[in-house]
Structure 1
Amino acid sequence: MVLLATSAQPWVPEKAHATAEQVTAARTLANEARLSRETGKPVELELDNAELEAISAMVTQGFAPNRFDASLQDGVLTLTGSRPLLFRWINIRAQASGSSEGVPDFAVSIGSIPLPRWLSQWGLGLIQRRMAANGGTLPPIETILRSTRIGSDTLTAKVLVPQGSLLAHARATGTPAIDEDAVAAIHCGLANQQSSTPAPMLVHQLRRALAATEPTPEGHGAALVALALFSLGPDAKELAGNNGALGSCTASPMQLTLQGREDWAKHWALSAALEATTGSRISAAIGEWKELADTLARSPLLAPGDPSGFSFVDLASDRAGMMTARSLLDPDELVATRAKLLSAQDGDLLPAAALDLDDGLTEAEFAARYGATDDPRFEAKVDAIDEMLRRGGIG
């Protein structure tokens, strides 16, 4: 059975990292889908093979070494996943065609073993129950995916994005839970202190957030998410969801800074929170995707009005937040890291040397110098940035 269910090679070939065009296409789809959450009404998304390939590249990059591919051919939608297992691969393929209400009726095979359709439906239900058991608040999948229409070269999906926070969604995928009540309490504490004693820099708010927690991974995770909510303001809706406690205490508007820049403070805080809620690979990939999208955008995502383009200073801010969060969540490092951060200064979060990095590269300039995010030249640059952060910062 093991030999039948596994393969010597992956069915999904190795994929290049997502390009700027693919990230932009995926962002457009995500923005269209999010409209349904604001209106409470499903929206129709149309995806062709180019958009399916964009999603496949991003999923594979974000969840490596696992691989994923989605494609349409002759009216058949094929989803393929490959996951390494010791010296072999688990390969799963699901195929569907036509129109359906809710999730399509997929024909599924694991390796060379075709699954009966009833067993595929049972597996889908099991996944849903496990998501609920992990404390997630996601509704049944059929509530999110209302209908599909698979054409010869286009997939039309009617979706309704659920209400809820990144914390709830992360729990639904098995990420260790972060106490939303603790996040709300820390967030309110930051707002109250800011009202009575304003502090303009991100490092001040980080010290306050940590001081309000116990020296545990759970406490530090809650502090980092609360800090992101406080730092990003309206931009943090994806983290907060509908948690009423978070909206019940607000501080007077004040943009926090890191090395004198508001956008670097947002990059640092958001990446630290993503590290706490989704893990290193996803948080790193999101930072790279954001910079790639900025090479094609008229205005960068976190700093409207600033020059767009690929910024290695932004990326350094992302990685500084990510690395610091990793140390705060590591049981072997958290005590020492916490002690440093409780007396940290601005340059401890982002060393001044980071400000000399390339900033505002166009897509053509980035491609000429670094190729892509899986190019050895880019990987060497990221390694050098990480080493600079380790020498000059906390992480």
Structure 2
Amino acid sequence: MKRILLGSALGLLLATVLALALALQGQALLPPAAEVQSGDVARAKDFLKRNDPRRVEGNPQRLVTISEADLNLLLGQAALYSHAGAAQLRLHPGLADLRLSLLVPKLGLWLNVQARLRETGRLPEFEHVKVGRLPLPAWLANWVLRAALLRLPPEQDVQFAKDLIRHIGFGEQYAQVKYQWQADSMARVMALVWPAPEQQRALAYHQALAQVAAAYPVYAHVSLARLLPPLFDLARQRAKGDVTLMAAENRAAILTLALHASGKSWAILMPAARAWEPVRPLVVTLAGRDDFPQHFLISAVLAIEGGGPLSDAIGVYKEVADSRGGSGFSFNDIAADRAGTRFGLLAKTSPAKLQVAMSTGLQERDFMPDVADLPEFLSAAQFAQRYGTVESEGYKAQMAEIEARLDGLKLWR
């Protein structure tokens, strides 16, 4: 009996080792995703505007069509953000071919997945799956997927998706999602995005900013350098040396300041904040201007939430849009965007360093370069005549000058 048990155990061990050897590979199946471009941002903005569920009255079903290119852009940015690898979809009538490369960090090996999903009455199912060189039965892959969904924390996320999505279908280079937007859907979305601990964290920084703002007259002009230290001092106290908490506290502090500098409050993001005592309105300034703090802080938020490349692309997109009928293309706005992106990435990836730097009393010149001599208010025609496109050598030289100025500042050394 012991020999039978030992033989079975050894057989299982060998089967596991063999399966891992077949599943794991030394190279990724897919190259890293390309960084998002300003044109992608324009397309995404138009898509969100056309498909905003808040504009729908009553309780209707909606059908959203998403192109294969846009889906792959989303997958690519998610992979870049999570540092997990890369993913790619190819869509055909009733079918979706998925390729996925996931890095296994401790082993330095890749989990490469090739799968075909088949459209069904509601949600797609696997038709066949191959992990590395190891084929998996479709029934097993579908069972694993269902089991994983049941165990994903928190359970209300999965339940909300089930209640919302009615059908996912595939066409030639496009997908369609039919969903049921209900009366409580927005409240459920906000509850998922801002769970109770996040709401409590936001309230702490809202109250801290209210206390700071109370020392100034209404609509007083106040430098961002005067508002950052007290909020980051609170971040340091609340984190208590925990690096994970430091990043979360930094994020909440920056979000609070970004909302206030833009004339908004937490109430636009979370319904519970509507009951909070309002903060005395201030005009937040940077280099004597009230637009720079918005560029700086919004770019910092984007860097925290979506990574630096996304923030850069949105900054360039806005300036290009401005040159076509807005305030004009401004390299000094781009400099504020780039400074904010660096600030956000530092808050996220080196949170302790930023908190220590804030405790030493940073001045504006320590994190925002002098931009008074940079070209601004360029119309589309002026920009085209002077620089051509954002891919030109002249434009790249101007951007390199901005980066050089940032490199010389105290916070980035």
Normalised by the size of structure 2, how large is the TM-score?
0.71
> Is 1:88 matched with 2:118?
no
State the Cα deviation string for residues 300-344 of structure 1 (Å, max 9, x = none): 9xxx943257863243233242255247613xx35531312xx33
What letter matches 1:84 in structure 2? L
> Is 1:365 matched with 2:389?
yes
> Is 1:190 matched with 2:216?
no
- In structure 1, the residue matched to 2:92 is 73
Normalised by the size of structure 1, how large is the TM-score?
0.74
Q: Does the C-alpha gap of structure 1 residues 325 and 247 become closer, same or farther in structure 2, counting only changes over 3 Å?
A: farther
What letter matches 2:308 in structure 1? A
- In structure 2, the residue matched to 1:150 is 170
Query: 1:75 & 1:11 partners in 2: Cα distance?
Result: 24
Matches within 5 A, 1:312-331: 312-326=334-348, 329-330=351-352
C-alpha displacement of 1:184: 0.9
C-alpha displacement of 1:104: 1.9
What letter matches 2:136 in structure 1? P
Query: 1:323 & 1:14 partners in 2: Cα distance?
Result: 20
1:210 to 226, 232, 256: 232
C-alpha displacement of 1:225: 3.0
Matches within 5 A, 1:55-70: 55-64=74-83, 66-70=85-89
C-alpha displacement of 1:284: 0.5
- In structure 1, the residue matched to 2:272 is 244
C-alpha displacement of 1:170: 8.8
State the Cα deviation string for residues 222-259 of structure 1 (Å, max 9, x = none): 3233223333344877xx63241365222354442222
2:126 to 102, 106, 109: 106
What letter matches 2:269 in structure 1? G
Instruction: Give the conservation status (yes or no) of the 8 Å contact 1:268–1:322.
Output: no
C-alpha displacement of 1:90: 1.0
Q: Does the C-alpha gap of structure 1 residues 158 and 284 become closer, same or farther in structure 2, counting only changes over 3 Å?
A: same
Q: Larger radius of gyration, structure 1 or 2?
A: 2
Query: 1:70 & 1:354 partners in 2: Cα distance?
Result: 46
- In structure 1, the residue matched to 2:12 is none
Query: 1:309 & 1:122 partners in 2: Cα distance?
Result: 52
Q: Does the C-alpha gap of structure 1 residues 220 and 322 become closer, same or farther in structure 2, counting only changes over 3 Å?
A: closer
Q: Does the C-alpha gap of structure 1 residues 153 and 119 become closer, same or farther in structure 2, counting only changes over 3 Å?
A: closer
Matches within 5 A, 1:263-274: 263-274=291-302
Matches within 5 A, 1:212-291: 212-215=234-237, 216=239, 217=246, 219-234=249-264, 241-245=269-273, 248-274=276-302, 278=305, 282-291=306-315
| CA RMSD, 1 decimal | 4.1
C-alpha displacement of 1:76: 1.8
SS at match of 1:18: coil
- In structure 2, the residue matched to 1:132 is 154
Instruction: Give the conservation status (yes or no) of the 8 Å contact 2:224–2:284.
Output: yes
Query: 1:22 & 1:144 partners in 2: Cα distance?
Result: 27
Instruction: Give the conservation status (yes or no) of the 8 Å contact 2:251–2:348.
Output: no
**Structure 1 gaps, min length 5:** 172-176, 372-376
2:139 to 110, 113, 117: 117
- In structure 2, the residue matched to 1:24 is 42
Q: Does the C-alpha gap of structure 1 residues 138 and 73 become closer, same or farther in structure 2, counting only changes over 3 Å?
A: closer
C-alpha displacement of 1:36: 4.3
C-alpha displacement of 1:116: 3.6
Query: 2:296 & 2:197 partners in 1: Cα distance?
Result: 19
C-alpha displacement of 1:54: 3.4
2:118 to 97, 102, 118: 97
Query: 1:287 & 1:275 partners in 2: Cα distance?
Result: 6
> Is 1:5 matched with 2:5?
no
Instruction: Give the conservation status (yes or no) of the 8 Å contact 2:24–2:109.
Output: yes
C-alpha displacement of 1:128: 5.9
Q: Percent identity at matched positions? A: 17
Instruction: Give the conservation status (yes or no) of the 8 Å contact 1:350–1:389.
Output: yes
Q: Does the C-alpha gap of structure 1 residues 164 and 121 become closer, same or farther in structure 2, counting only changes over 3 Å?
A: same
- In structure 2, the residue matched to 1:392 is 409
Q: Does the C-alpha gap of structure 1 residues 38 and 189 become closer, same or farther in structure 2, counting only changes over 3 Å?
A: farther
**Structure 2 gaps, min length 5:** 1-18, 240-245
SS at match of 1:394: helix
